[in-house]
Amino acid sequence: MSHALRQGRLIDALEADGLEALVVSDLANVRYLTGYVGTNAAALIARDRRLLITDGRYAAAARATVQGADVRIGERDLLGDLGEALRELGPQAAAGFEADTMSVARHRRLEERAGRALQPTEGLVAALRAVKDADEVELIREAAGIADRALARILAGPLVGRTEREVAFHLHAALRDEGAEDPSFPIIVASGPRGAHPHALPAAEPIPEDTLVVIDLGAAHRGYCSDMTRTVATGDPPPELERAYAVCLDAQESALAAVRAGAAAVEVDAVARKAIAADGFGDAFPHGLGHGVGLAVHERPGLRPTSTDMLAAGMVVTVEPGIYLEGIGGVRIEDLVLVTDDGPEILSGAPKQLIGKDGVAA
Amino acid sequence: MSHALRQGRLIDALEADGLEALVVSDLANVRYLTGYVGTNAAALIARDRRLLITDGRYAAAARATVQGADVRIGERDLLGDLGEALRELGPQAAAGFEADTMSVARHRRLEERAGRALQPTEGLVAALRAVKDADEVELIREAAGIADRALARILAGPLVGRTEREVAFHLHAALRDEGAEDPSFPIIVASGPRGAHPHALPAAEPIPEDTLVVIDLGAAHRGYCSDMTRTVATGDPPPELERAYAVCLDAQESALAAVRAGAAAVEVDAVARKAIAADGFGDAFPHGLGHGVGLAVHERPGLRPTSTDMLAAGMVVTVEPGIYLEGIGGVRIEDLVLVTDDGPEILSGAPKQLIGKDGVAA
């Protein structure tokens, strides 16, 4: 989908809310709408005015990459430049700003510089971004394939005795060798009792034998992200962890089967949550089932008990139940999934049987 | 300095502004004040109430690392939990929030949940963070040493013919091998005409002969950052780039000599800016001279033409003039510097003569 078409859809959404223009300050949203890549820019999007403002550091790059919008190079005074652009639009045009990401201080200054009030909006571009077009799905599919191959490289060698940080770094190198720009988030390698912490940082500690290792990684590829978790054994883990693995995998596959266009996100979350609770691990799954993935590794929709999102064809989401047993270890199994009218299309390709145990190979 | 002492200084600053409590939502500020490391937390700091709120994912880690504050584990409803804590504080206590980082939408919800208005504040914790204590200086010094050694490793080998991305990745690996957790920002390797873009991303293109290569890197080390740039030659660069190098180095050393406690940041910036303009490159230095470095790689103070900051003993800042010639190439020379009463203490150790030219070794 062209950037101009994305801008057109945003304008349709704006007009449905009684607005004529939106100041887009969130950089991922700016990228989505215009193609701009960098650290200092904003856009003003209206039916007859599409403007990308950045500074001299990005002048050449912006002129080469921005589509569907005029590029204005300012003096690193984005709020002043936006204020001027809003004045050019005329005082009668109802204009909004992104209240969910713009700070209170910047909002106050922007209104001062524009000499007018702006309407708070939330999630307008996020709602567009949640449904991927074919080009986006292809990039995410490629990112998922990169992560599959990177994980396979690492699992072809030993884990025991290497530190978590070494393994994480070699995963990073493998992601890059397979074509990623970078990991899409800090890689998690959490073994033994550290696996009981869902967001453990890789430790400078060796991975022990006879336990589970949670490995959560993703590739950043031409702006798009992937996200996948596998949990592998190092020999013969404690029986409670083996049971947790089997319960988690059943819950994950049940939830996957519930993914389809028109399903309520909260219901998909509930499928996994009920399965885990029914097997006695109800307190051990303290996070949501999943989230959308795209330009950001966490975006709409949310699959969690408080979500009001509905799944739609073209969404790309994670399905990642976990079971965490303090002092013992953890399990998380996560696939990246494209939502279709007919059900889930799983983009993650790594195997899900418990590998590393009793000689089961990757 | 203990975290409790940092909290005490914040309370002194609050009380000077007529406030009794501050909701701290910026995660780097939360880390500075309490030691919390993670992605979901906020703090409420008052003379008789020091509270760190996070969720179950971080319960064990927060209890192990947070100092000087009670830890409260919530249900991933930070705004609700903060609202409750504010109600416990009593309606008559004047409380502020961080208007420079809290979004308009979150601020509105926080006031709803607290049932009260909060006062906007800006830069209170940033002002404390700008002046480092001895422990912080030591960590930044170590981070700078890691980057020095990583760069030396890479410059011991050839650059020509390797892609910028390969060199950036090997710098990343070298940073890690020397003890960094990660780079403190995405490493820049920009050769030939790409060097004319101050924030160029490393390209999948080979580094050519007979030009300059801008290399900007830093180490993330136990939460603290370093930041350094060197520009090296690959053989015999165009005369205009060689002249730009000499002018940039002179400007950088003149600006370094102006760094001392009590100097206005804008004056230090002006020393370099005037030197570059006097040599005919005035339009070619489109960014500020430098910035503070600490828990974040960009923090207070700012050394730029619009800055109102004054340098103080204990600040750690970069001094990084650049000259960028579109279509030809670029030069940037950056040191990390501790401000003392007696002048600058330079923390970056890599050599600054133009290496790589005519057999000048690293």
Are B122 and A105 an interchain contact pair (Cβ–Cβ within 8 Å)?
yes
pLDDT for A90 equals 87
Residue-range domain boundaries for chain A: 3-128, 131-346
A317: phi then psi, degrees, rounded to nearest 5: -135, 160
Note whether B197 and A60 are within 8 A (CB). Answer: yes
* Percentage of residues in chain B having pLDDT higher than 90: 89
User: A18 touching B, CB under 8 A?
Assistant: no
Return the H-helix or E-strand segment holding B302.
strand B299-303
In this structure, CATH architecture of domain B131-346: Alpha-Beta Complex (3.90)
Q: What is the DSSP string of A259-323?
A: --TT-BHHHHHHHHHHHHHHTT-GGG--S-SEEE-SSSSSEEEEESTT---B--TTBEEEE--EE
In CATH, which of 3.40.350.10, 1.10.3720.10, 3.50.50.60, 3.30.460.10 is domain A3-128?
3.40.350.10
| pLDDT tens digits for range A145-167 | 999 999 999 999 999 999 999 99
Interface ipTM: 0.86
Q: What is the 3-state secondary structure (H, E, C) of A104-125?
A: HHHHHHHHHHHCCCCEEECCHH
Q: How confident is the model at residue B225 (pLDDT cuts 50, 70, 90)?
A: very high
Q: Both tokens of residue B200?
A: 């160029």
CA pair distance A302, A305, nearest whole angstrom:
9
pLDDT for A293 equals 98
Q: How confident is the model at residue B96 (pLDDT cuts 50, 70, 90)?
A: very high
Is the CATH code 3.40.350.10 the one for domain B3-129?
A: yes
pLDDT for A361 equals 60
Q: How confident is the model at residue B360 (pLDDT cuts 50, 70, 90)?
A: low
pLDDT for A283 equals 85
Residue B282 has pLDDT above 90, yes or no: no
Q: Max alpha carbon distance in chain B (Å)?
A: 72
The residues of chain A scoring below 50 in pLDDT are none
Residue B362 has pLDDT above 70, yes or no: no
pLDDT for A355 equals 86
User: A204 touching B, CB under 8 A?
Assistant: no
Distance from the A85 Cα atom to the nearest Cα atom in chain B, whole angstroms: 21
Chain B residues within an 8 Å CB radius of A97: 104
CA pair distance B121, B101, nearest whole angstrom:
10
Note whether B225 and B296 are within 8 A (CB). Answer: yes
Which residue in chain B is spatially nearest to A202 when comparing CA positions?
B181
Chain A residues within an 8 Å CB radius of B176: 165, 169
Chain A residues within an 8 Å CB radius of B55: 286
